[in-house]
Amino acid sequence: MAGYYRFSMSNNAISAYNSGEKPFSKWRKSDILEELGELANRFKKVPAPALKSALLYKSSWHHTSKHFNKTNFYSVDLDKAEEMTDAEIAALCASKVAKHPPKTEKRHVSYLVWSGTRKHPKAERHEAECEIVGNWAFTPHGKKSISANGFEFLD
């Protein structure tokens, strides 16, 4: 059934939603456990990211948005869930990825602060001792990208 529904997604994408398919980001752990039915008890302790990567498979793609974006849709692989051993499920439970906070450091930097109008922009150079977290510098004038034009490390 070709065509679009209110510029948000194709009619085929709506049919996919109705048949239980969704984009990867729309799947929640509770949705997967609901699809598993009687098998859900075996997978309750598995973290959501591990569960999604282990049991979801790309079942189709559909156009979404008025720009005709190609979006992959996923379904739960019930056969794979039935075939998984207790050892494989235990390995999924242990596969929790530890999130480490980004490394922070203090550095002396030089950066630009823009003002004025679009037609007459004005840049002022500032120097400050800033905290660097990942790819960002937290300056007295706000958050600045360390890869921005005009940003320099002075030490």
Q: What is the pLDDT of residues 55-114, one digit of tens each?
A: 999 998 887 777 777 888 999 999 999 999 999 998 888 875 545 566 789 999 999 999
The answer, as to whether pTM is greater than 0.75, is no
Q: What is the side-by-side strand order in the sheet with 69-76? A: 4-5, 9-10, 56-64, 69-76
Mark whether 13 and 88 lie in a shared domain: yes
Determine contact, residues 76/28, Cβ cutoff 8 Å. Answer: no
Mark whether 147 and 122 lie in a shared domain: yes
Instruction: Report how many domains make up the chain.
Output: 2
Q: Decide which of 94, 115, 135 is a domain's last residue.
A: 94
- Structural domain for 119, as ranges: 104-153
Q: Is 79 among the domain residues? A: yes
